[in-house]
Amino acid sequence: MKDVREDDIMKPLVPLSELCVSVFFDTNQLGERFNDDGCGNMIVHRIRASKDFYAIQKFTHKYGLSSRVSFLFPEISLKEYKRQSVEIFIEHTKSLEDKVEKYKKVFGENLSVNFSFAHKSTADFEAFIERLIQQFMLENQCLIAHHNANEETFKRFVDKVINREPPFTDAHKGSKKYKDAGFKDAVIEDTIKLFSESTNNVCILLSEDNDWGRCFKKDCNNIYVCKNADQVIDIICKSLSLGKLDLIASMFLNNSYIKETSITMANLKYEELSLCENIEVDENTDDETYMIRFDYIMDNKTYKIETVYEESSNSVISSIISDDDDLQNT
């Protein structure tokens, strides 16, 4: 796989070292799969991530957390995804060609089949998958977590294999027993631990596998393993000390549509460069709405605005200037 470094990938709004939470996605969070043994089980003409990936992404975007939460794929996970895609290409192009030849023998001149693949060789298809990966990473503002390939890392892996420490386990293939199963997981574990140590970020690994809990037990207080989006979102909120009212305030600050609606509904002119300050949020438990109070500064005047916001419809119900006679000069 082409070595796509951090400079090749769209960066978050602040440097990575300043981010508070980094979410890592295992290989099983990448790719669309379906149940059809006759045609493989993974779509390889496009790349989509799991529902959990997009749920976390939607959460961070909605509440304006994109500058505090980074999305990362371990380098080895992307390489594994590419390998899986290429294996499917090789297996099923050959399978299709064999089936066509078989049916031609059966039906002879009664059968006319014309088909072609856009990628004529495995190398062409590898390049295609590489482009898809880069496009996915750019569009979703994901970073690649590169692993260390130095002597010290290799020694750690060897010691883990010898001592059968997680994630290395015994595995069987036929009558042969392997004691080094889990190499990919060991690379991911090492990548996340070193990343955590170098950034002091809270690190979260999202994976469907059940074995990860054994890997991050010692000295890993800021590393978490989750199996679904709800668990990830819960840890993000706790790590950033964000309650529901904090999330609504953050959403308001980062949602130009809601801000503009609140201001224009209060019969004021909305100017994108004008400031909204001193945001306070209260929950209206009776009707499940939120009261957002803020100062809107325009033309050297401060307007105190009260907005009723309904989260379920993502809409402003009402908005008024609460203290029209007491405008403050700034």
Which of 192, 223, 239 is the C-terminal boundary of a domain? 239
> How buried is residue 265: exposed, middle or buried, by Cβ count under 10 Å (0-12/13-18/19+)?
middle
- Which residues in the chain show pLDDT less than 50? 1-17, 161-162, 172-180, 325, 330
pTM over 0.85: no
Contacts of 169 (CB under 8 A, 6+ apart): 181, 182, 211
Give the pLDDT of residue 167: 56
Q: Cis peptide before 167, with omega less than 30 degrees from 0?
A: yes
Same domain, 296 and 194: no
Same domain, 222 and 300: no
Give the pLDDT of residue 173: 44
Structural domain harbouring 221: 6-239
Residues 220-256: b if buried by 16+ CB within 10 A, e if exposed: eebbbbbeebeebbebbbebbebeeeebbbbbbbbbe
Cα–Cα distance for residue pair 103/114, rounded to 1 Å: 13
Which of 195, 212, 239 is the C-terminal boundary of a domain? 239
Contacts of 250 (CB under 8 A, 6+ apart): 63, 64, 65, 242
Residue in this structure with the two tokens 């690649």, named with its chain if needed: 144
Cα–Cα distance for residue pair 233/242, rounded to 1 Å: 11
Give the pLDDT of residue 169: 56
Pair 147, 24: CB distance under 8 Å: no
Which of 196, 217, 239 is the C-terminal boundary of a domain? 239
Give the pLDDT of residue 89: 81
Structurally, the chain folds into a number of domains equal to 2
Inside any domain, residue 50: yes
Same domain, 226 and 289: no
Same domain, 183 and 153: yes
* Partners of 145 in the β-ladder: 74
Q: At what angle do helices 75-107 and 183-199 cross, to 10 degrees?
A: 150
Inside any domain, residue 1: no
Tokens of 30: 């990448």
